[in-house]
């Protein structure tokens, strides 16, 4: 066990020892008497706020807290998708990745937990390898606590009440600035009535999942809630080299909460959570090869033949790989948060103090083959973040407002080791060079990377809603932000015999090694002030219709390159590339929300356009270890489109929904972009390409989600209830899986269908069978361009058909 892992365990132990001690001290005998009406009315307001969210996309009176106060989703002048806890369970959407099947405007892609990104409307984070030196454009919040990295939010949803996906800038309402949107996750809160629930699922691929939560009083003023979840599943790709299934799931999560309510106007909630993912992950399979501008003897077919190599299958849906390096995706996250809600004066003061940590322990195979070319690729990372948010909300007959302050500090330390093996010389060095026949030239060549990031952010924000009349209101918002980032990057290179590799281009062996790994050291720094604002006008022509229009001028903070930068002609780092300018964002949106048929149906429509100058894009380098990717500013990006949400519930026996999004997201101007593989690798290949007008990666023009459920009265085991049949489907059109669109990396559109059938009672028993990807659709989640411009394209197939059964009960 490494020192870093031991440190993380100690932090975890200390966290839960503190939490357990507080529980023990608070555990005075609770009264056995029934709660009074006043006690029942005093259950936690956050739980009450989300109590109506059971139907999620199915409509109904869904309460949300998008504007930091409880109101129905139809009264909020924001494009918002709401997914209730029951719908999450029923559709198997137990993490952020699967949430995109229910929210068409959401895009998620991941090659492993660290290299994960969430975008809304095609923007948020650059497509490709993660760089810690920039912010996420989509903010992820769990019970008001900001999660700085998508990697630390890839956990299973644990005891979730509902999830709100807010589209468009949200910086004047949320602690951290978010230019593309926010995912607001609300968990179930402690209650002063005893309650509990349990859930068990089993399925094919050895799928097993168990969840439980218990809540209740410890005294007249103390209540506690604890929830546990565990998920395991065999992998979906078979590794013939190691005789193991990879892409498995092995997750466990724990959340404990303690609520102290000394008076009716004060709530203090202490929360601790811990999550561990320990999958055999992550790999890929062969998809295709494509011609590049490299000489033929340096393209994949010739290089593989020279070493007598062939993939175990050229059909990606055989789900076979032969990766020979160790694979691991250990991911441990946890933290403690203290939330205070105090009704004081005319409003409510809310304080959220939180500490979170993330411990990432990966091992990868970066050559994507079964040859010992790259034999080690490990970049373990440890993150600690501290946040403090203060908000004061006031609601009155004519005015509602929120004023807030936010402070954020983050420290990330990363230690990287990348090494080459005995097959590297013949694969990497030009075959015309005699050194290509000498395995010892690159065998054991190792780069040792050390880096850290210190990230500080301070903000003041506020939003006012002025009800000019009973039908018309205006809502201005302001934000003042300060960001500072200090980093350090060092790469040391040693040969197989342990001797350091220095910049000696006169020595052929040294030159061959420097073409793979180049020593580098620099310390980038960035700081800046930004001011942003927005204005929304809302009009209600009738009681069932809301019209709104929004303009926002905002930004995404500048950043630093934490994974290395290009070297200049003198061999030194190009420090001008070490920092990245802030994105400048202008956002326009108009929408309509309508309820009809005696509120049995809802229809929402929004149109939007977002223009971004100095868009932060990921620039990929084709060589093995010189520089896998760095960040740079493009000229301009634009995303625009139309979104519609429809739900109907004519009776208690039937309900249905259909949501759709058309998204036109493209580079308006990007004249010095990295070239796609087919234009790369040759002596006369262009150093960069103009991809202005091309579509942004990772986003489909068309995306839909739709579903329905019907039920009928029935009895089972002498229990009165209802039988039901449900369907949830989704469709996404094709999208590019490379930062610069390539003929080799377009992923075809696909549709997925999920079914469930079961029996449930009002008392809380629910038994159902389910099948996901019911028609066993073959599709690709993500494609990867192999290193070295050899023309190799590998990919990650989506999950095959899975099926199983679930039993849930409440008590």
Q: What is the mean pLDDT of the chain?
A: 89
Q: How far apart are CA 642 and CA 719, in angstroms?
A: 46
> Do 356 and 375 contact (CB within 8 A), yes or no?
no
Q: How far apart are CA 562 and CA 132, in angstroms?
A: 6
Q: Position of tokens 């101007």?
A: 669
Q: What is the pLDDT of residue 336?
A: 98
Task: Return the beta strands (E) in 543-683 as ranges.
Answer: 545-556, 559-560, 579-580, 583-596, 601-613, 616-620, 629-633, 636-651, 654-669
> Do 689 and 676 contact (CB within 8 A), yes or no?
yes
Per-residue pLDDT at 33 exceeds 90: no
> CA-CA distances (angstroms) from residue 554 to 180, 532, 586, 613?
10, 5, 6, 11
Q: How far apart are CA 283 and CA 94, in angstroms?
A: 22
Q: What is the pLDDT of residue 383?
A: 94
Opening angle at CA 751, ends 748 and 757, nearest 5: 160
What's 270's domain CATH number?
2.40.170.20
Question: Closest Cα partner for 88 from 206, 193, 183, 205?
Answer: 183
Q: How far apart are CA 808 and CA 761, in angstroms?
A: 11
Q: Name the more confident of 576 and 499.
A: 499
pTM of the model: 0.90
> CA-CA distances (angstroms) from residue 314 to 319, 331, 443?
10, 31, 28
Residues 662-694 have pLDDT tens digits of: 999 999 999 988 899 999 988 888 888 999 999
Residues 174-233 have pLDDT tens digits of: 888 889 999 999 999 999 999 999 999 999 999 999 999 999 999 999 999 999 999 999
Per-residue pLDDT at 24 exceeds 50: no
Q: What residues have CB less than 8 Å from 682, skipping those under 6 apart?
A: 292, 293, 294, 295
- For the CA atoms of 644, 649, 650, 654, the dihedral, rounded to the nearest 10 degrees, stands at 120
Question: Chain centroid to CA 31: how far?
Answer: 43
Question: Closest Cα partner for 611 from 665, 549, 661?
Answer: 665
> Do 105 and 661 contact (CB within 8 A), yes or no?
yes
Q: What is the pLDDT of residue 573?
A: 86
Question: Closest Cα partner for 281 from 85, 401, 116, 145?
Answer: 116
Is the preceding peptide bond at 282 cis, omega within 30 degrees of 0?
A: yes
Q: What is the pLDDT of residue 58?
A: 56
Q: What is the pLDDT of residue 51?
A: 37
Q: How far apart are CA 667 and CA 54, in angstroms?
A: 39
Task: Return the beta strands (E) in 670-736 as ranges.
Answer: 702-716, 719-732, 735-736
Which of 5-19, 147-161, 688-702 is modeled with the greatest confidence?
688-702
Q: How far apart are CA 559 and CA 344, in angstroms?
A: 39
> CA-CA distances (angstroms) from residue 284 to 21, 312, 785?
45, 12, 11
Region 560-582: mean pLDDT is 86
As for how many domains the chain has, the answer is 1
Region 553-572: mean pLDDT is 87
Q: Position of tokens 């890839």?
A: 154
Q: How far apart are CA 121 and CA 699, in angstroms?
A: 7
SS3 384: strand
Band of the pLDDT at 95, cuts 50, 70, 90? confident
Q: What is the pLDDT of residue 564?
A: 86
The enclosing H or E element of 413 equals: strand 399-420
3-state secondary structure 2-29: CHHHHHHHHHHHHHHHHHHHHHHHHCCC
Per-residue pLDDT at 27 exceeds 50: no
Tokens representing residue 535 in the block? 């204005």
**Secondary structure (DSSP) of 180-199:** SEEEEEEE----SS-EEEEE
Q: How far apart are CA 681 and CA 621, in angstroms?
A: 10
Per-residue pLDDT at 714 exceeds 70: yes
Burial call 145-184: b when 16+ CB within 10 Å, e when fewer? bbbbbbbbbbbbbbbbbbbbbbbbbbbbbbbbbbbbbbbb
Which domain, by its residues, includes 691?
3-470+479-810
Q: What residues have CB less than 8 Å from 564, skipping those under 6 apart?
A: 449, 489, 491, 520, 573, 627, 630
Residues 304-324 have pLDDT tens digits of: 999 999 999 999 999 999 999
Per-residue pLDDT at 638 exceeds 50: yes
The enclosing H or E element of 99 equals: helix 96-99
> Do 404 and 390 contact (CB within 8 A), yes or no?
yes
Opening angle at CA 51, ends 49 and 56, nearest 5: 105
Tokens representing residue 244 in the block? 């193991």
Q: How far apart are CA 305 and CA 662, in angstroms?
A: 45
Question: Closest Cα partner for 273 from 160, 391, 139?
Answer: 160
Band of the pLDDT at 26, cuts 50, 70, 90? very low
Q: What is the pLDDT of residue 629?
A: 65
Per-residue pLDDT at 47 exceeds 70: no
> Do 663 and 75 contact (CB within 8 A), yes or no?
no
Q: How far apart are CA 266 and CA 341, in angstroms?
A: 6
**Secondary structure (DSSP) of 287-298:** EEE---SS-GGG
Per-residue pLDDT at 244 exceeds 70: yes
Pairing of strands 735-736, 746-747: antiparallel
Per-residue pLDDT at 98 exceeds 90: no
Q: Position of tokens 């607001």?
A: 184
Q: Name the more confident of 247 and 620.
A: 247
Q: What is the pLDDT of residue 56?
A: 53
Pairing of strands 181-187, 138-142: parallel
> CA-CA distances (angstroms) from residue 631 to 337, 377, 437, 615, 763?
33, 21, 36, 10, 54
Rg (CA), the chain: 27
Q: What is the pLDDT of residue 92?
A: 75
Q: What is the pLDDT of residue 60?
A: 53
Per-residue pLDDT at 641 exceeds 80: yes
Pairing of strands 237-239, 320-321: parallel
Q: Name the more confident of 68 and 269.
A: 269
The number of residues in the chain equals 811
Q: Name the more confident of 616 and 48.
A: 616
Opening angle at CA 264, ends 259 and 270, nearest 5: 15
Q: What is the pLDDT of residue 112?
A: 83
> Do 667 and 692 contact (CB within 8 A), yes or no?
yes
Q: How far apart are the first and last CA of the chain?
A: 41
> CA-CA distances (angstroms) from residue 578 to 126, 247, 632?
17, 34, 9
Q: Position of tokens 């940590």?
A: 357
Q: How many CB atoms lie within 10 A of CB 21?
A: 10
Band of the pLDDT at 586, cuts 50, 70, 90? very high
């Amino acid at each position: 066990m490494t020192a870093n892992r031991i440190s993380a365990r100690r932090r975890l132990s200390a966290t839960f020892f503190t939490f357990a001690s507080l529980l023990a001290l608070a555990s005075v005998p609770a009264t056995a008497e029934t709660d009074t009406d006043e006690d029942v009315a005093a259950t936690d307001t956050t739980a009450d706020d989300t109590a109506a969210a059971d139907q999620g996309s199915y409509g109904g009176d869904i309460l949300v807290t998008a504007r930091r106060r409880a109101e129905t989703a139809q009264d909020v002048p924001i494009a918002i998708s709401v997914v209730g806890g029951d719908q999450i369970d029923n559709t198997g959407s137990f993490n952020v990745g699967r949430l995109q099947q229910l929210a068409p405007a959401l895009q998620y892609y991941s090659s492993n937990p660290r290299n994960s990104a969430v975008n809304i409307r095609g923007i948020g984070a650059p497509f490709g390898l993660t760089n810690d030196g920039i912010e996420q454009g989509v903010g992820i919040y769990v019970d008001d606590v900001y999660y700085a990295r998508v990697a630390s939010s890839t956990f299973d949803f644990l005891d979730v009440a509902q999830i709100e996906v807010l589209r468009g800038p949200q910086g004047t309402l949320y602690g951290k600035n978010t230019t593309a949107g926010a995912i607001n996750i609300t968990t179930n809160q402690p209650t002063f009535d005893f309650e509990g629930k349990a859930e068990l699922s089993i399925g094919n691929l050895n799928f097993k999942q168990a969840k439980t939560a218990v809540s209740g009083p410890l005294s007249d003023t103390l209540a506690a809630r604890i929830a546990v979840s565990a998920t395991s599943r065999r992998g979906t790709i078979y590794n013939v080299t190691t005789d193991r299934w990879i892409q498995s799931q092995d997750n466990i999560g724990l959340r404990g909460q303690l609520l102290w309510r000394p008076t009716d106007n004060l709530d203090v909630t202490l929360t601790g959570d811990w999550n561990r993912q320990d999958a055999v992950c992550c790999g890929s399979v062969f998809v295709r090869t494509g011609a590049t501008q490299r000489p033929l003897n340096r393209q994949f077919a010739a290089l593989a033949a020279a070493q007598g190599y062939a993939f175990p299958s050229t059909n990606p849906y055989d789900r076979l790989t032969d990766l020979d390096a160790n694979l691991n995706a250990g991911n441990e996250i946890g933290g403690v948060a203290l939330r205070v809600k105090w009704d004081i004066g005319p409003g409510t003061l809310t304080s959220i103090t939180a500490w979170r940590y993330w411990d990432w322990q990966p091992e990868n195979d970066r050559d994507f083959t079964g040859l010992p070319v790259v034999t080690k690729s490990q970049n373990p990372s440890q993150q600690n973040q501290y946040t403090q948010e203060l908000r004061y909300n006031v609601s009155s007959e004519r005015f509602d407002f929120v004023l807030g302050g936010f402070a954020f500090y983050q420290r990330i330390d990363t230690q990287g080791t990348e090494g080459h093996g005995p097959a590297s010389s013949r694969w990497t060095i030009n075959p015309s060079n005699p050194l290509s026949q000498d395995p010892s030239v690159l065998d054991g060549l190792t780069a040792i990377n050390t880096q850290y990031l210190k990230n500080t952010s301070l903000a003041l924000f506020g939003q006012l809603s002025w009800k000019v009349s009973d039908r018309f209101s205006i809502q201005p918002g302001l934000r003042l932000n300060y960001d500072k980032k200090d980093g350090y990057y060092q790469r040391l290179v040693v040969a197989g015999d342990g001797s350091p590799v220095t910049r000696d281009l006169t020595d052929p062996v040294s030159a061959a090694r420097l073409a793979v790994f180049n020593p580098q050291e620099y310390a980038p720094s960035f700081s800046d002030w930004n001011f942003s604002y927005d204005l929304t006008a809302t009009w209600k022509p009738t009681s069932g219709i809301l019209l709104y229009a929004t303009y926002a001028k905002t930004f995404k903070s500048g950043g630093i390159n934490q994974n290395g930068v290009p070297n200049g002609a003198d061999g030194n780092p190009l420090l001008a590339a070490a920092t990245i300018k802030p994105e400048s964002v202008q956002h326009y949106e108009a929408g309509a929300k309508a309820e009809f048929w005696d509120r049995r149906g809802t229809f929402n429509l929004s149109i939007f356009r977002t223009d971004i100058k100095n868009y932060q894009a990921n620039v990929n380098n084709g060589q093995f270890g010189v520089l896998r990717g760095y960040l740079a500013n493009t000229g301009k990006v634009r995303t625009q489109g139309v979104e519609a949400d429809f739900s109907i519930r004519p009776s208690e026996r039937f309900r249905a929904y259909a949501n759709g999004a058309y998204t036109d997201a493209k580079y308006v101007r990007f004249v010095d972009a990295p070239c796609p593989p087919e234009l790369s690798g040759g002596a006369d290949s262009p150093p960069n390409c103009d991809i202005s007008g091309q579509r942004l990666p990772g986003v489909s023009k068309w995306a839909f989600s739709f579903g329905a459920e019907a039920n009928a009265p029935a009895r089972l085991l002498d229990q009165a209830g209802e039988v039901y049949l449900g369907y949830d489907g989704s469709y996404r059109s094709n999208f590019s899986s490379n930062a610069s669109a390539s003929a080799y990396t377009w992923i075809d559109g696909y549709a997925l269908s999920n079914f469930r059938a079961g029996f449930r009672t009002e008392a809380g028993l629910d038994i159902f069978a389910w099948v996901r990807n019911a028609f066993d659709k073959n599709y690709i989640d993500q494609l990867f361009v192999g290193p070295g411009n050899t023309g190799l394209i590998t990919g990650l197939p989506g999950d095959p058909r899975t099926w199983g059964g679930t039993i849930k009960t409440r008590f």
